[in-house]
Amino acid sequence: MTNFIRRSKHQRVLVAVGSLAAIVACSGTDTIQPGPEFPMTLDVFTPGNIFSPATADIAVGGTIRFRMTESPDGDGHNALFNRSVAGAPIDVPIVKDTTVSRTFTKAGTFSYFCTVHPGMNGEVVVH
Ligand SMILES: [Cu+2]
């Protein structure tokens, strides 16, 4: 009789532990947080006379590092932003072989262009 009770308690404990493990496993699955969908830092390069990537997706608060390497014609590049979009950062002046960072604190699409090279355009999409 005593043995039966002990086994019974033991079994109940096992069931309880099993249930707890199941609850933990389920709640663990429910609380998994997805990783950041967009990067906080992204490089934009200037191979030839284009911005690459032409569309740069980052998270709100993220930073674009404009890596302005010298153009094939020996010129530098700049990046002038559409001033009509709220949250547009300060323009990047004409620079050569220089990295200039700009941080985007508001969501939106921020187009920009290089005045040195007509048609050299890009945009930063902040999510
Ligand atoms: Cu340019």
How would you write the pLDDT of the chain (127 residues) with one tens digit per residue? Answer: 444 445 555 444 444 444 444 444 444 555 666 556 999 999 999 998 999 999 999 999 999 999 999 888 899 999 999 999 999 999 999 999 999 999 999 999 999 999 999 999 999 999 9
Same domain, yes or no: 65 and 107: yes
Query: In angstroms, what is the span from residue 78 Cα to ligand 1's centroid?
Result: 6
Same domain, yes or no: 50 and 87: yes
Query: In angstroms, what is the span from residue 72 Cα to ligand 1's centroid?
Result: 10
Distance (Å) of CA 8 to CA 3, 4, 5, 23, 127: 8, 6, 5, 22, 57
Query: In angstroms, what is the span from residue 67 Cα to ligand 1's centroid?
Result: 11
List the structure tokens of 112. 């920009």
List the structure tokens of 73. 């014609």
Same domain, yes or no: 11 and 51: no
Query: In angstroms, what is the span from residue 120 Cα to ligand 1's centroid?
Result: 6
Cis link prior to 93 (omega < 30° from 0)?
no
pLDDT given for residue 71 in this prediction: 87
pLDDT given for residue 32 in this prediction: 60
Rounded to two decimals, the pTM is 0.72
Q: What is the CATH number for 102?
A: 2.60.40.420
Structural domain that includes position 51: 41-126
